A and B are shown apart, each in its own frame.
Chain A
Amino acid sequence: MSAKRWTLRALGLGYVLLLLLLPLGLIFYKTFEHGIAPPLDAITSPDGLHALKLTLLMVAIAVPLNTVFGVGCALLLVRHRWWANPLIDALINLPFAISPVVIGLSLFLLYGATGWLEPGLAEAGIKVLFSVPGMVLASIFVSLPFVVRETVPVLQEIGTEQEQAASTLGANAWQTFRRVTLPAIRWGVAYGVVLTTARVLGEFGAVSVVSGSISGETQTLPLFVEKQYQNFNLPGAFGASVLLALLALTTLLAMNLLKRKEDA
């Protein structure tokens, strides 16, 4: 019994060690091997700072939009019966399953030179591809399901009794939502927001296809990592990677705290 247990421990923990922990630890070591200056210089270079700002801009646009959409969509799916609900429910999951490159290509073809929307957009003087709007569209697409998926089960679990009580006592729809529903689902929504943010921060494939990855213009941090690596500027690639890894670890921490709040 004991021997079996130790074998399983060795297998499971060894796998995590070789696949996750050692690679992660090594990148921190290599980044700070010669002090904090090289990676810091790389990130605070004009291109690095621009990439950081652009990444934050993606988060600032895509996350609020997908949060409002996600909560509204979850309310409709759970609280209002409609014949098309199963269809919407299935559609929401699509971005989870589709390759980021395929998402990028789809946007590329829709907004590209021969795309359906090109004539109208060109007339209006709006440039979608190889500029910020296209990257925002890609970020929204890839991170669309998270808030819906985290909110739906919580809504199902809390039931409608309290909401009904509130409306019987004269609360209008908005008051009921603000005072009863939202406090009950807030940790579920917050969990979804954390996942959405992490996905937008790190999105690479879809954004790389629509952005053209122009340094100092359409380069987010993940694209910056690739460019720096290809240009053999390892301190730059490592520095940006460590920054993104720290953000990922913060995400994990937030996920754990929220899970505990949700369970409490």
Chain B
Amino acid sequence: MSAHPASATSVPGASRAALWRLPGLGAGLGRGLVVLYLSVLVLLPLAALTSQSLSEGLGTFWDQVTSPQALRSLELTLVASLIVVAINAVFGTILAWLLVRDEFPGKAAINAVIDLPFALPTIVASLILIELWGPDSPLGVDIALTRAAVVVALCFVTLPFVVRAVQPLLIEMDREMEEAAASLGAGGFTVFRRIIFPNLLPGLAAGVALAFARALGEFGSVLLFAGGLPSTMVSSVYIRTQIESGNDTGAAAVSVVLLLASLACLVVVGLIQRWGGRHER
């Protein structure tokens, strides 16, 4: 049980105990620790959240989720995330293409800076966006505290997902197919639509699903830039206002809705990856 199955058959003569395992521990103990770590740190808090959301019954849960302000925040979150994902699907693919197929000065720096939203704290993202696109904008464009600010903030934090999902597929792609299509008379757009795009689709879909999950739950970058006005309040900001006003059940109910949406995104990503993996073979 503890030894690796392959090594048990391929190294005859070596005693089972000598076959390598997790250092110093049996696999059983290791498994116990991993399960304990995940249960205490991740599952237990999420169970407490779910329990609180249902503590006053399903009726209250439903009332909390469908209260006008909660519903409005969920609607804004959903619509803004869809818009953002569409924008980044286009610009992410363009950027991935530029980084793989094009040559221009500063390419390495641009490639590195794409990951900036992963590394930069979200509250700093909010602050730098408000300085460029807020009341003190040197460009004279003030979109702070509007729905456009929600979209821009979410575009910022989800930019790397599509680029990084599409890039490796473009690198691996066989260029002979494109050349064959072109030599048969296909124009640039036809080659893209019929050859390149279908090959990129698994990566693009996975990147879009990950970006969507991230956008649904984003908090810090939206907070200062878009604010908490009734018209600009996304669900995560709504949840915090409910915590602050002591409505734990309402906050938990909307959280459970977001949690289920995130789970659905993860399932979709898993399915896409399995589908993409099958296409490779």
**A interface, CB within 8 angstroms of B:** 1, 4-5, 8-9, 11-13, 15-16, 19-24, 26-27, 30, 69, 72-73, 75-76, 79-82, 84, 88, 90-103, 105-110, 112, 114-116, 137, 140-141, 144, 160, 163-164, 166-168, 170-174, 176-178, 195, 198, 201-205, 208-209, 221-223, 225-226, 229, 237-238, 241, 244-245, 248-249, 251-253, 255-256
Taking a contact as CB atoms under 8 Å apart, the answer to whether B31 and A76 are in contact is: yes
Contact of A98 among B5, B31, B262 (CB under 8 A): B262
A205 contacts B48, C-beta separation under 8 Å: no
Would B6 and A241 count as touching, CB distance under 8 A? no
In Å, the complex CA distance between A15 and B23 comes to 48
Given A21-B113, A168-B14, A173-B21, check contact A100 B49 (CB 8 Å).
no
Contacts of A164 in B (CB 8 A): 7, 10-11, 20
| Chain B residues positioned under 8 Å from A221 (CB to CB) | 121
Q: Contacts A26-B128, A141-B42, A221-B121 known; list 4 others, CB within 8 Å.
A: A80-B22, A94-B266, A101-B255, A109-B51
Query: What's the minimum C-beta distance from B145 to chain A, rounded to whole angstroms?
Result: 14
B165 within 8 A of A: no
Are A72 and B48 neighbours in the complex by a CB distance under 8 Å? no
Establish whether residues B49 and A106, one from each chain, have CB atoms under 8 Å apart when the complex forms. Answer: yes
Q: Interface code B110-139, partner A: CB below 8 Å = 1, 0 otherwise?
A: 101111111111111001110111000010
CB-nearest residue of chain B to A98: B262
Closest Cβ of chain B to A201, distance in Å, is 7
24 pairs, A vs B, C-beta closer than 8 Å: A8-B98, A23-B129, A73-B34, A75-B22, A80-B21, A80-B22, A88-B35, A88-B38, A90-B270, A96-B213, A96-B266, A97-B265, A98-B259, A99-B217, A99-B219, A99-B236, A106-B46, A140-B41, A167-B14, A222-B124, A225-B127, A229-B127, A245-B128, A248-B120
Which residues of chain A have C-beta atoms less than 8 A from B240's C-beta?
101, 208-209
B49 closest partner in A (C-beta): A106
What's the count of A-B pairs with C-beta under 8 Å?
281
A22 touches B132 (CB 8 A): yes
A137 to B42, CA, bound (A): 10
* Min CB gap A157→B, angstroms: 14
| Chain B interface, >50% SS class | helix
Q: Is the CB of A204 within 8 A of B116?
A: no
Binds A, one of B62-70, B89-97, B196-204: B89-97
Residues of B near A99 (CB, < 8 A) are: 216-219, 235-236, 239, 255, 258, 262
Interface of A is mostly: helix
Q: Is residue B229 contacting chain A, with contact meaning CB distance below 8 A?
A: no
- A15-B95, A94-B266, A141-B45 known; A229-B124 Cβ under 8 A: no
Q: Given A21-B113, A245-B124, check contact A102 B4 (CB 8 Å).
A: no
- A92's closest neighbor in chain B, by CB? B38
A65 CA / B120 CA spacing, docked (Å) = 22
Q: Which of B228-281 contact A (CB under 8 A)?
A: 235-237, 239-240, 243, 248, 251-252, 255, 258-259, 262-263, 265-266, 270
Distance (whole angstroms) from the CB of B92 to the closest CB of chain A:
9
Say yes or no: B131 contacts A16, CB within 8 Å: no
Is the beta-carbon distance between B4 and A160 smaller than 8 angstroms? yes
Please give the number of chain B residues whose Cβ is less than 8 angstroms from any Cβ of chain A in the complex: 93
Q: Are B156 and A19 in contact (CB under 8 A)?
A: yes
Q: Name the one of A1, A26, A72 contacting B131, with C-beta atoms under 8 angstroms.
A: A26
Residues of B within 8 A of A115 (CB): 48
> What is the distance, in angstroms, from A176's C-beta to the closest C-beta of chain B?
4
Indicate if the CB atoms of B48 and A109 lie closer than 8 Å. yes
CB-nearest residue of chain A relative to B88?
A15
Known A94-B42, A141-B42, A222-B123; contact A12-B217, beta-carbon cutoff 8 A: no
Chain A residue nearest to B87 (CB atoms) is A15
Beta-carbon contact of A24 and B128 below 8 Å = yes
CA A178 to CA B24, docked complex, whole Å: 11
- B119–A167 touching, CB < 8 Å: no
Give min CB distance, A19 to chain B, whole Å.
6
In the complex, chain A residues whose CB is within 8 Å of the CB of B21: 80, 173
The 4 A-B residue pairs with the shortest CB-CB distance in the complex, in nearest-first order: A99-B217, A202-B121, A106-B45, A97-B262
Least CB separation from B136: chain A residue: A30
Question: Nearest A residue to B117 by beta-carbon distance?
Answer: A20
In chain B, residues 1-36, which have Cβ atoms closer than 8 Å to a Cβ of chain A? 2, 4-7, 10-11, 14, 18-24, 27, 30-31, 33-35
Bound-state Cα–Cα, A86 to B114, Å: 31
Give A30 to B136 CA distance when docked, in angstroms.
Answer: 11
User: With a CB–CB cut-off of 8 A, which chain A residues contact B218?
Assistant: 99
State how many angstroms separate the Cβ of A8 from the closest Cβ of chain B. Answer: 6
User: Given the interface contacts A12-B95, A80-B4, does A241 sit within 8 Å of B128 by beta carbon?
Assistant: yes
CB–CB A102/B118 < 8 A? no
